[in-house]
């Protein structure tokens, strides 16, 4: 994590208090104290860094606005398109699930524009992909291709 580079955010008096309490209960040589200070400081910093991280996430658009009929928007960078999944993988190295977790989104949050997924499922049915039944033979007499727009 990148939190190590940051040196602010740790209250010196808090470190001093912990050190004082520790020193009064343990027998330390003076040269052990700097090491103790560093380790206490680092521990506090580690706690702060872990807790702060989710709060620094600011979505490019609001979650509600990120899903529109014809497009979905990436909360990370504001990218807009019909399908978010591929964008997430190539641009952010995230899977759909990781993205949902990252932004605290429900499992049914759409990553594909609603109009686009509707279009695709209609297409799949037309191609016969949605068929799970052997007895469902294509009707011979009908000509489903008659109406092409
Ligand atoms: Zn993005």
How far apart are alpha carbons 30 and 148 in whole angstroms? 87
CA of 75 to the centre of ligand 1 (A): 7
Q: Is the pTM of this model over 0.75?
A: no
pLDDT at 84: 96
CA of 86 to the centre of ligand 1 (A): 10
- Positive or negative torsion for Cα 41, 42, 44, 48: positive
Read off the pLDDT of residues 40-58 as tens digits, 9 standing for 90 and up. Answer: 888 887 776 555 555 578 9
> Residue 114 class from Cβ within 10 Å (0-12 exposed, 13-18 middle, 19+ buried)?
middle
CA of 73 to the centre of ligand 1 (A): 8
pLDDT at 104: 92
CA of 113 to the centre of ligand 1 (A): 15
pLDDT at 14: 85
pLDDT at 5: 45
Domains of the chain from N-terminus onward: 9-56 (no CATH), 57-129 (1.10.10.1550)
């Amino acid at each position: 994590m990148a939190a190590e580079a940051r040196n602010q955010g740790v209250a010196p008096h808090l470190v001093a208090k912990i050190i004082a309490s520790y020193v009064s209960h343990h027998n330390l040589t003076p040269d052990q104290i700097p090491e103790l200070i560093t380790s206490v400081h680092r521990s506090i910093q580690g706690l702060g860094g872990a807790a702060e991280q989710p709060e620094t996430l600011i979505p490019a658009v609001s979650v509600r606005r990120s899903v529109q009929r014809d497009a979905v928007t990436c909360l990370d960078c504001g990218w807009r398109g019909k399908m978010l999944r591929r964008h997430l993988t190539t641009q952010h190295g995230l899977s759909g699930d990781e993205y949902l977790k990252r932004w605290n989104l429900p499992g049914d949050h759409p990553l594909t524009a609603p109009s686009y997924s509707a279009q695709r499922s209609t297409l799949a049915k037309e191609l016969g992909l949605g068929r799970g039944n052997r007895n469902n033979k294509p009707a011979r007499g009908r000509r489903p291709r008659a109406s092409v727009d």
